Structure 1
Amino acid sequence: MRQHVNPLSSNFNQIEKLPSLSEMFGDSKSNLHLDIGCAAGEFLFDLALGNTSWNYLGIEIREKLVKNAKLKVIEREIKNLYFIFGNANNILNDMQNKFIIKNIKSISFYFPDPWFKKRHYKRRVIQPGFVNMLSNSLQKGTLIFIKTDVKDLFNYMDCTISSNFHFKTIDKKDFNYSESFNPIKLKTDREKYVIYNQLDIYEKIYIKI
């Protein structure tokens, strides 16, 4: 679902106070993974149900998708999954929400909106200022995962993250997924579509040093 929403709209300037981790999750001490741009949340539902030892938090800019996902969480009585509506940049930059950043073990940016036109690059979720904020706030050892089927977008994200000296690349072939947020290597709907159509996937993992 590619419904374009301008993340720079003033509609996203007002930030709601978020509940504490103990209010979001049944066990607030579990490792926390953040998925930015989680869409309808199907990937996170699969992860939460398949790996109950982690907590999963999704941020999505399309309000209807978040409302529907929250209803499904309640209906299915899932205790390790929570959804937030809004612009991730604004939400995580807000001082009252810094507790989220400080508790995150990993973040994924999977198949984000590419915003192909050059004048729209400023709308892409990964921006130098956002990466700088993450580098200053994340715990040492926190992982960032990026994945896309758009080569230009991958190069842009990789360059933006790699330009920050607080992050270094992890060789994917040496990475132990069994200890990560996705131990059984579940795939997003977009990734399944890309694989089915035999398109290229570009991905990288970074660690905060």
Structure 2
Amino acid sequence: MSTEAKTPSPENTEDTNATAPYLRRIRSFVLREGRLTKGQQHALDNYWIKYGIDYQDTLLSLDQVFARSAPRVLEIGFGMGKSLVAMAKAAPEQDFIGIEVHRPGVGACLSEAHTEALSNLKVFEHDAVEVLAQMIPEQSLDTVQLFFPDPWHKKRHHKRRIVQPDFVQALRSKLKIGGVFHMATDWENYAEHMLEVMRAAEGFENLSASGDYVERPEHRPLTKFEQRGQKLGHGVWDLMFKRIS
């Protein structure tokens, strides 16, 4: 969920669905359809049947979805999907689940997945909080990834940031004991916010030897956006917290 693709806006962000106990009232994203390319539309029309999972109020059997039992990685907000597809291609022994609300990104991801002939990737086009609450079984994930979420950099919008105590505890229940929540952001203030929330979160242990941030692990691809930022002197902060209870 690259910060390039987000346009913070206070309009149309209230969540009125209160059927699940920890669905947030305020959304962390603005849904902008954007214009689909012919390639993205073609991918949605032709490849969703193989890679897509329709949202419904029913727990999934991930072993049935992937026709095997394997380590599971879920990424929230995969943007255009290049990094997610690269990770799935590099780790065929793992299964990957991507969640994205922006349709052009979903189409682009489906196209990339088809090109690489992946068999270990499934995607949702839906709100990640609702997918986690309604469809992902307890203690079924080995890793949850949240890379470059919308930073909502204005102070009055900080409440819209997805990394909040309630969200972290909802996510915790989906991780196996020993599972890892991996975050990355190029906004230092948001990195500090993430660190503060996670330090206070019950049931997690920081994997940083220095008690704050970790070096980018090799399995997280370096994006073009990130490379551009590094050339301009911008920082990127990775946080990795393990579920211990």
Whether these two folds match at TM > 0.5 is yes
Q: Return the letter of the residue paired with 2:230.
A: I
Report the structure, 1 or 2, having the larger helix content.
1
Structure 1 stretch displaced more, 184-193 or 101-110: 184-193
Q: Which residue of 1 aligns with 2:150?
A: 113
Q: Which residue of 1 aligns with 2:29?
A: none
RMSD: 2.9
- The equivalent position to 2:75 in structure 1, one of 35, 49, 56, is 35
Shift of 1:149: 1.4
Q: Which residue of 2 aligns with 1:123?
A: 160
Q: Give the 3 Å change call, closer, same or farther, for CA 140–147 of structure 1 in structure 2.
A: same
Shift of 1:183: 5.5
SS of the residue 1:125 aligns to: coil
Q: Which residue of 2 aligns with 1:16?
A: 55
Q: Which residue of 1 aligns with 2:203?
A: 166
Q: Which runs of 5+ in 2 are unaligned?
A: 20-53, 211-216
Shift of 1:105: 0.3
Distance 1:147 1:16 in 2: 26
- The equivalent position to 2:131 in structure 1, one of 83, 91, 107, is 91
Distance 2:18 2:228 in 1: 34
Q: Which residue of 1 aligns with 2:222?
A: 187
Q: Deviations over 1:65-98 (max 9, x none)?
A: 113322443454310111111221122122xx13
Q: Which residue of 1 aligns with 2:25?
A: none
Query: Could you tell me whether the CA contact under 8 Å between 1:168 and 1:206 is conserved in 2?
Result: yes
Q: Deviations over 1:153-187 (max 9, x none)?
A: 001111112211211101269xxxxxxxx755532
Query: Could you tell me whether the CA contact under 8 Å between 1:161 and 1:167 is conserved in 2?
Result: yes
Distance 1:39 1:115 in 2: 16
Q: Give the 3 Å change call, closer, same or farther, for CA 81–158 of structure 1 in structure 2.
A: same
Q: Return the letter of the residue paired with 2:240.
A: I
Q: Which runs of 5+ in 1 are unaligned?
A: 174-181
Query: Could you tell me whether the CA contact under 8 Å between 2:55 and 2:124 is conserved in 1?
Result: no
SS of the residue 1:157 aligns to: helix
Q: Which residue of 2 aligns with 1:204?
A: 239
TM-score (norm 2): 0.70
1:135 matched to 2:172: yes
Q: Which residue of 2 aligns with 1:179?
A: none
Shift of 1:195: 2.4
Shift of 1:204: 1.7
Q: Give the 3 Å change call, closer, same or farther, for CA 139–189 of structure 1 in structure 2.
A: same
Distance 2:136 2:123 in 1: 17
1:3 matched to 2:10: no
Query: Could you tell me whether the CA contact under 8 Å between 2:186 and 2:236 is conserved in 1?
Result: yes
TM-score (norm 1): 0.80
Question: Identity of aligned pairs, percent?
Answer: 22
